[in-house]
Amino acid sequence: MLEIKDLKVELEEEGKAILKGVNLSVEDGKVHAIMGPNGSGKSTLSYVLSGKDGYEVTGGSASLDGEDILEMEPEERAAAGLFLAFQYPVEIPGVGNMTFLRTAVNAQRKARGEEELSAADFLKEVRAKAKDLKIDAEMLKRPVNVGFSGGEKKRNEILQMAMLEPKMCILDETDSGLDVDAMKLVAEGVNALRSEGRSFLVITHYQRLLDHIKPDVVHIMADGRIVKTGGPELALEVENNGYADILAEVA
Residues in contact with another protein by CB under 8 A are: 50-53, 73-75, 77-79, 83-84, 86, 89-90, 92-95, 99-100, 103-105, 107-108, 111, 143-144, 160, 164
Please identify, using beta-carbon distances, which residue of 90 and 251 lies nearer to another protein: 90
Please identify, using beta-carbon distances, which residue of 11 and 180 lies nearer to another protein: 11
Please identify, using beta-carbon distances, which residue of 77 and 155 lies nearer to another protein: 77
Strands 82-85 and 168-172, bridge-based pairing: parallel
Q: Shortest approach of another protein to residue 230 CB, angstroms?
A: 30
Q: Shortest approach of another protein to residue 150 CB, angstroms?
A: 17
Q: Residues 15, 18, 19, CA angle at the centre, nearest 5°?
A: 125
Please identify, using beta-carbon distances, which residue of 93 and 242 lies nearer to another protein: 93
Within 38-175, residue ranges assigned H as helices are 42-50, 74-79, 97-111, 119-132, 137-141, 150-164
Q: What are phi and psi for residue 179, nearest 5 degrees?
A: -85, 175
Q: Shortest approach of another protein to residue 222 CB, angstroms?
A: 27
Please identify, using beta-carbon distances, which residue of 76 and 188 lies nearer to another protein: 76
Q: Shortest approach of another protein to residue 43 CB, angstroms?
A: 14
CB contact burial 209-235 (16+ within 10 A = b; e otherwise): bbebbebebbbbbbbbbbbbeeebebb
Task: For 95-132, give the DSSP string.
Answer: EEHHHHHHHHHHHHHHHTTPPPPPHHHHHHHHHHHHHH
Q: Shortest approach of another protein to residue 64 CB, angstroms?
A: 14
